[in-house]
Structure 1
C-alpha cells in the first residue's frame, strides 16, 4: 500500500494570510506535487489542523482546493479545528456512535483507524473513555489484521518541552492498552510541526512537519520559533514485511548529476 500522510494545513479564509503567507497556496503546491509524482497512492490522510481557527469559510476553501487532488482522501480533526463547522462542510465524513469524527478505513494493508483527539477550546488532545473504548473495540474485533493508528496529537511525548502541555493528556493510560492489543504496526500523527519518528511502548511512530508553518526543534526551550520552510508530506509504503516512511519537501531542487541505474556518478567514491 502507498499511503500519503498530510498534516497541519492551517487554512485561513480566502484573502487572509497566516504569518505573512497563504496556507491555501502552499496546499495547492503540495497537491500539484502529489498529482505529478504520487497519484498512484491508494489513499491520502490529513491528520488534522485543517484550518487555523475552525471557521466555516476555511473549510469551504479546503473543500474547493481538495477537488484537484487525484487521490482518495480522508480528513481528520486537530486542536485548531471545529467539529461543527467541519461537519457542515464535510457532512459525509464518518462518525462514531458518540459523534466523534473517527472511523476505520479498510485498506489493502490492513485497517487504518482514524482517531478524533480534539478537545474543543484547548490545545492538548485526549482519547476520553468513550473514544478509547471505541478504539480498543476496533482493535479487538479483528485481532489478526494489522492496524495502523492515525491521530492529530502525539499519543506519547516526543521529547520536546514545548509540547509537554499539548500532548494527548491521558497517554500513560492509553499507550499500554494499545500496545497490549498486539496488532498495531505503526502510528502516524501531526500537531508538532517537526519531523520526528521512533517507537512508543514498542510501537513505531512518525510525524511530518506539515504543509503550513514549521517549528525549529529545541530540547530545552518551552517556547518555539515558527518558521516558513517548504511544505512537506510523508509517503508510507506498507506491506507484509514492514512500513517505510519517506519524507518529501515541495520545492524545486537543483539536480547536479543523473546517475544511470546501479551506477555511481563519476567522481563519487
Structure 2
C-alpha cells in the first residue's frame, strides 16, 4: 500500500496571510507535486490543524483546494480546528456515535484507525470521553489484522521540551494499552512541525514537519522558533514485512547527474 501523510495545513480565510505567507498556496503546490508524482497512492490522510483558527471560511478554502487532489482523502482534527465548523463544512466525514471525528478505513494493508484528539480551546490532546475505549474496541474487533493509527497529537514523547505541555494527556497508559492490543504496527501524527520518528516500547511512530510553517528542533529550550521552510509530506509504503516512510520536500532541486541503470544483484530479482 502506498499512503500519503499530510499534516498541519493551518489554512486562513481568503485574502489573509499567516506569518507573511499564504498557507493555501503552499497546499496547492503540495497537491501539484502529489498529483505529478504520487497519484497512484491508495489514500491521503491529513492529520489535523487543517485551519489556523477553526473558522468556517478557512474550511471552505480547504474544500476548494482539495478538489484538485487526485487521491482519496481522510481528514483529522487538530488543536487549531473547530469540530463544529469542520462538520458544517464536511458533513459527510465519518464520526463515531459520540460525535468525534473518528473512523476506520479497511485498506489493502490492514485497518487504518483515525483518531480525534481535539480538546476544544486547548493546545494539548486527549483520548478522554470514551475515545480511548472506542480505539481499543476497534483494535479488539480484528486482533489478527495489522492496525495503523493516525492522530494529530503525538501519543508518545518526541524529546522536545517545548511540546511536553502540548502532547496527549495521560499518554503513558494510552500507549501501554496500545502496546497491549498487540496489533498496532505504526502511529502517524502531526502537531509538532518537525520531522521525527522512532519507537516507544516497540511501536514505531513518525511525524512530518508539515505543509505550513515549521519549528527548529531544540532539545533544551521550552520556547520555539517558527520558520518558513519548504512544505513537506510523507509517503508510507506498507506491506506484510514493514512500513517504509519517505519524506518529500515541495521544492525544485538542481539535478547534477542522472545515473545509468545498473544490473540487478542476484537474490534481488
Deviations 1:2-34 (A, max 9, x none): 000000000000000000000000000000000
With structure 2 as the length reference, what TM-score do the two structures score?
A: 0.97
Q: Give the whole-Å Cα distance in 1 for the aligned partners of 2:98 and 2:34.
A: 34
**Match for residue 184 of structure 1?**
184
> What is the number of equivalent residue pairs in this alignment?
263
Q: Give the whole-Å Cα distance in 2 for the aligned partners of 1:262 and 1:80.
A: 49
Q: Give the whole-Å Cα distance in 2 for the aligned partners of 1:132 and 1:163.
A: 21
Provide the aligned C-alpha RMSD in A.
Answer: 0.7
**Match for residue 148 of structure 2?**
148
Q: Give the whole-Å Cα distance in 2 for the aligned partners of 1:223 and 1:262.
A: 49
SS in 2 for 1:5: strand
**Match for residue 266 of structure 2?**
none
**Match for residue 72 of structure 2?**
72
Does residue 165 of structure 2 align to residue 174 of structure 1?
no
**Match for residue 97 of structure 1?**
97
Q: Give the whole-Å Cα distance in 1 for the aligned partners of 2:26 and 2:193.
A: 15
**Per-residue deviation at 1:223?**
0.3
Structure 1: tracts of 5 or more residues without a match = 264-269
Structure 2: tracts of 5 or more residues without a match = 264-269
Equivalence map 1:1-269=2 (5 Å): 1-262=1-262
SS in 2 for 1:186: strand
SS in 2 for 1:260: coil
After superposing on structure 2, the runs of 4+ consecutive aligned residues of structure 1 that deviate more than 4 Å are none
Q: Give the whole-Å Cα distance in 1 for the aligned partners of 2:79 and 2:115.
A: 13
**Per-residue deviation at 1:205?**
0.3
Which range is displaced more, 3-12 or 172-181?
172-181
Q: Give the whole-Å Cα distance in 2 for the aligned partners of 1:174 and 1:129.
A: 13
**Per-residue deviation at 1:201?**
2.0
SS in 1 for 2:26: helix
Deviations 1:148-173 (A, max 9, x none): 00000000110000000001011012
Deviations 1:120-169 (A, max 9, x none): 00000001050000000000000000000000000011000000000101
With structure 1 as the length reference, what TM-score do the two structures score?
A: 0.97
